[in-house]
Amino acid sequence: MVLRCAAWRAEFGADAVLDEELGFKDLEGIVAYMHGWDRDGHPVCYNAYGVFKDRDMYERVFGDGDRLARFLRWRVQVMERGVRALTLRPGGVNAIIQVTDLKDMPKRELRAASNQILSLFQDNYPEMVARKVFINVPWYFSVLFSMISPFLTERTKSKFVIAREGNVAETLYKFIRPELVPVQYGGLSRTGDLENGPPKPASEFTIKGGEKVFLEIDGIEAGATITWDLVVGGWDLEYGAEYVPAAEDSYTLCVEKTRMVSATAEEPVHNAFTAREAGKMVLSIDNSGSRKRKVAAYRYFVRKSSA
């Protein structure tokens, strides 16, 4: 496999593909992109083909053989970015994580392209995928996998992870820290967040079904500004925020009125508040209307007054 890989790289020109302009800038960060790393340091590649349910987009990218060939070359370009982030020596990080979003994927139309992508990577990147995570998986995919599972080796099966819609954040958090999971998948990482180095770590917690949780951020000084991010996998609960001054004769301030956050919310809570007096911020997450346990994460920054 290594010998075939070397021959293919020379023929394909894989070492030079990173410098090529292939005309798919509008697909960057949507269809295939490298973003962050998992808990073991493996670079993570996200794949989402739901955008191709739009017929015009599909025709523009896959309309003929030349367009498909250019797309495959672009897909290799994305893969090569992940390869360049590896440490190819004993004891180093020598494989990536592939996360594939099956939501809205037009499976019939993309069958030929999917098969070619799979073959391309399987044949020419030997042992370079540490884990393959499928998210937003439809019911028929789970049935299909259960049928072929007995024919797979334990080693191969250990690389596959399947998450149905509604369990995406919980599944990804097992392998990737929440501050590195993209916001559309229940994380805190927005586009561009990693350009200035590793983000501030988030605190992880779980909310039981029927439980109401209060997160208290103490020790806020007068004039300080606190900024916080909060996300709950699968939301479908109530959230609110209030500021409680330390002085007994002061009044509690409603910072964010309690509201219902739907299950389809794709953005985490992001807010800021400047305190006029010392006190604490209290975030409330009310899951009492659900029996389902949910994963969650939050982080905050406090900037003291310069006065």
DSSP-assigned letters across all residues of 20-76? ---S-GGGBTTTEEEEEE-TTS-EEEEEE-GGGGSHHHHHHHHSSHHHHHHHHHHHH
Comparing 298 with 120, the larger pLDDT belongs to 298
- Asked if residue 92 has pLDDT above 70, the reply is yes
* Interior/surface letters 88-111, b for 16+ CB within 10 angstroms, e for the rest: eeeeebebbbbbbbbeebeeeebe
pLDDT in tens, 171-210: 999 999 999 999 999 999 988 888 888 899 999 999 999 9
DSSP string, 82-143: HHHTS--STTS---EEEEEE-TT--TTTTHHHHHHHHHHHHHHSTT-EEEEEEEEE-HHHHH
- The strand pair at 294-303 and 225-232 is best described as antiparallel
| Confidence tier at 307 by pLDDT (50, 70, 90) | low
- Region 50-73: mean pLDDT is 87
| β-strand partners of 43 | 37
Q: Which class for 159: exposed (0-12), middle (13-18), buried (19 or more C-beta within 10 A)?
A: middle
H or E, element range at 170: helix 168-173
What integer best gives the mean pLDDT of the chain?
90
Rounded to an integer, what is the distance from CA 165 to the centroid of its chain? 14
Domain annotation for the chain: domains and CATH numbers: 1-165 (3.40.525.10), 203-303 (2.60.120.680)
pLDDT in tens, 128-174: 889 999 999 887 777 777 777 776 677 777 888 988 888 999 999 99
- Give the C-alpha separation, 78 to 163, whole Å: 24
- Give the C-alpha separation, 125 to 132, whole Å: 14
CA end-to-end distance (rounded Å), the chain: 65
pLDDT in tens, 278-293: 999 999 999 999 999 9
pLDDT in tens, 212-244: 999 999 999 999 999 999 999 999 999 999 999
- Give the C-alpha separation, 260 to 105, whole Å: 29
Q: What is the DSSP letter of 147?
A: H
Q: At what angle do helices 2-12 and 111-124 cross, to 10 degrees?
A: 120
pLDDT at res. 253: 96
pLDDT at res. 127: 84
